[in-house]
Amino acid sequence: MTHPAEVFQPLQDDDPRTVAGYRLAARLGAGGMGRVYLSHTPGGRPVALKVVRSELADDPAFRRRFGREIRAARTVKGAYTAELIDADPDGTPPWLATVYVPGPSLTEAVARRGPLPVPAVLWLTAGVAEALQVIHGAGIVHRDLKPSNVLLAADGPRVIDFGIALAADATAHTATGAVIGTPQFMAPEQATGDEVTAATDVFALGQTAAFAALGEPLYGEGSSAGVLYRIVHSRPDLSRLPEQLRPLIARCLAAEPEERVTPAEVVEWCRRELGRDADAGAGPAVWREVAGPEAAVPPPAPEPSPDPTAVRTRPLIAPRGPAAPGPAGPQGPSVPRGPEERRTRRRRFALGAAAALAAGGLLLAAAWTL
């Protein structure tokens, strides 16, 4: 069980305090790509900042692919996605920042309260399918859609990390036979290393919906090899699912990609099953119940305090006020202290100017004579 307050973990000794000018306030989690931190924009808006692991950052192929995926992800702006707002694929290390979503992941929500009721699963599936429409419309395949990449805000789900798994396909560790993604939520063609398309995400959507309804992965737990074997060579057992959900999830989990439903068809099917609730605004009430109490977001990290032992490199500003009388020194000429002294200085300046003009005239006359 994950308590809302446990969403924000304190920074550890090996965590950076700033990344590209973003001051880190807490740790949100970690995954195969790197660590995720809570930070804030200059205006105070919370963001989730992901810092890429050094092993990936050292791979030039990863950086090139990561840069391409970031450029594509900038175009994704949907109601059910976490918008990318800043990134630097060439940074040391590479990083990206998305809008922070105040809510637990689907994994955390199920661990806290158990399987979701059928209406909540329908709302969830429709929202994630709508997110996939936007993501696929930008030319991106998520490739790692799973419960931990679906966050449950009070107004509906948000899909995160879209397209990022593709960048890791070019790294050295994929050449050893490892497959990018999470085994329990892969499609058969992904597990066998065949072409990955938008239909691959639909298979993962069916598995994610089944997880929400069952409280556990549809293809079971165990070793990665065993789970992948079942996904590739066996049909899923849908008898444990609520009867209302079985037709849709069966269409999502078709073995052949071309036989699967599209995200648009998923949205239409879910709205039809929800009936009047789909148009009556019942979704927010469902999400408030599922997401649970919202955790208070920590404030922005304070500016680092100056080191009192540091050597000053800039001169101190002299205090304002009348300067002591005396000749001009390193701090500039002294300030006149009264009207009589000011008049004396003006007379001296005038005499000096006249002498300079006279000397200039003599020089000009000599030059003319020559």
Active site amino acids: 144
β-strand partners of 81: 159
Beta strands in the chain (DSSP E): 18-19, 22-23, 26-30, 34-40, 46-52, 84-88, 95-99, 150-153, 156-159
Sequence-ordered list of residues with C-beta below 8 angstroms from that of 287, at least 6 positions apart, any chain: 120, 123, 152, 153, 154, 155, 156, 157
Structure tokens, 169: 């396909």
Other Cβ atoms within 10 Å of 240 Cβ, number: 12
Of 202, 211, 262, which Cα lies nearest the Cα of 107? 211
Alpha helix positions (H), 303-338: none
Burial 152-183, CB ≥16 within 10 A → b, else e? bbbebbbbbbbbbbbbbebbeebeeeeebbbb
d(C-alpha 265, C-alpha 250), whole Å: 13
Nearest to 158 by CA among 98, 111, 204: 98
